[in-house]
Amino acid sequence: MATDVTMPQLGESVTEGTITRWLKKPGDRIAKYEPLCEVATDKVNAEVPATISGTLLEIVAEEGATVEVGQLICRIEEEGGTPSAKPADQGKDSAASSAASSGQEDQSMKRRYSPAVLRLAQEHGIDLEKIEGTGKGGRITRKDVLRYIEGGGKGVPSPSTPADRGEKQPAAPAKKPSAPEVRIPVAETPAKEGVPVPLEEGDQEIPVSSVRRTIAQRMVTSKHEAPHAWTMVEADVTGLVQLRERLKKEFKEREGISLTYLPFFIKAVVDSLKEFPYLNSVWAGDRIILKKRINISIAVATDDALYVPVIHDADEKSIAGLAKAVHRLAEKTRAGKLSLEDMQGGTFTVNNTGSFGSIMSQPIINYPQAAILSVESIVKRPVIKDSMIAIRDMVNLCLSLDHRILDGLMAGRFLQRVKERVESYGPDTQI
């Protein structure tokens, strides 16, 4: 008896993975939990283990294929079970079955919609009857809806769909599909992917990696679904600079790692999140979930991608503890050794764009979190202090927020408390 092996859930919010290498071939004997193949996602590289012991009967998803979570990737002949048809025969059977059913596609799942699909359809005023589902049994996936939106409502329409929405349609013979109606302002329609671009001499074409493609999809999703608002405050961190200057040599000698500014800002954010729990929440369609744990996502860039590992229970750590956690995650990211646990459970993101010399940015929310804060570069500037001109160390703190969850009042108060906290650090502060 053959058992189907599907693409597992390889992380929170991971929807697909790309099979980079098969470690087994048809006919190989496999022990339970033995790795079958290697899979790359936007977050981690992982191995897919065998769910049973037996013999690899058939590989369905070849190397390089990107497969959605839950879709079939291979079949295993269970150990001691009744022999199934050989892969070659099975392929013939499948082909025959496919041929037989080519004129009668399975549409049994056509009208079973996930909450994400329904939410997208509601937000964009889309009639789902006009979308052709690519999922199992004709089910409409979230990707189908996004593709339909990105195409300006010119996705593959159902052959039986009328042009006018809401009108009862008589049973009519198949006809040429009409252009579907979509209630999306043209200005909000994102640029199509794959638009032909003329190449000139010397141009280089770089294939989009699965990681880059997934990052792009996430960014588009966040901008599509979360109405971003943005605000910024300026903070005087002269005391923090003096504190770090006093501690950094001793810290390096004692802990073996450098003491950066980021842990101080994370600590200020974490303490402020306790006062404003709505900033530590996620959007869940018909409700807002205030997260009990405070898990801080931090953005770590590599040469070719951006990863967002998580400091779990950041509110339980001191500044020194946060410094160690930041160092550990950064090292694991650059070494390509992040685990699934390292990537899961983030409730708020702190982005350190200041490390690149940036003084102002508008970060995209790490969806479905409620907000993201960017710490910009600390620069010396002349400012008015006590009615006199003084040279101070100044930093901009930039906050992007999901306007469905947060309004400017709460976001502003939160940012004000973060500012007060980072300005309260002084040369004698204990970490």
HEC per residue, 218-287:
HHHHHHHHCCEEEEEEEEECHHHHHHHHHHHHHHHHHHCCCCCCHHHHHHHHHHHHHHCHHHHEEECCCC
**286 labelled catalytic:** no
Q: Which residues have CB under 8 Å from 119's CB, separation 6+?
A: 225, 285
Three-class SS of residue 49?
strand
The CA distance from 397 to 232, in Å, is 6
- Over the range 124-148, which residues count as b (16 or more CB within 10 Å of their CB) and which as e? bebbbbbbbbebeebbbbbbbbbbb
Nearest to 58 by CA among 33, 95, 14: 95
- Letter for the amino acid at 236? D
* Catalytic residue (choose from 124, 224, 228, 403): 403
The CA distance from 86 to 2, in Å, is 10
How many Cα neighbours within 13 Å face the side chain of 365?
29
* Catalytic residue (choose from 386, 402, 407, 428): 407
For 223-424, CATH number? Answer: 3.30.559.10
CB 42 within 8 A of CB 218: yes
Per residue of the chain (431 residues), give pLDDT as tens: 788 888 887 766 677 788 888 999 999 998 888 889 888 776 667 778 888 888 999 999 888 788 888 889 999 988 776 655 554 444 444 444 444 444 456 666 666 566 566 667 766 777 777 788 877 667 777 778 778 877 776 544 444 444 444 444 444 444 444 433 333 333 334 444 567 788 899 999 888 877 788 788 889 999 999 999 999 999 999 999 999 999 999 999 999 999 999 999 999 999 999 999 999 999 988 899 999 999 999 999 887 778 899 999 999 999 999 999 999 999 999 888 888 789 889 999 999 999 889 999 999 999 999 999 999 999 999 999 889 999 999 999 999 999 999 999 999 999 999 999 999 999 999 88
Enumerate the domain spans of the chain: 2-78, 115-151, 223-424
**224 labelled catalytic:** no
The CA distance from 261 to 74, in Å, is 48
For 115-151, CATH number? Answer: 4.10.320.10
Q: Which CATH class is domain 2-78?
A: mainly beta
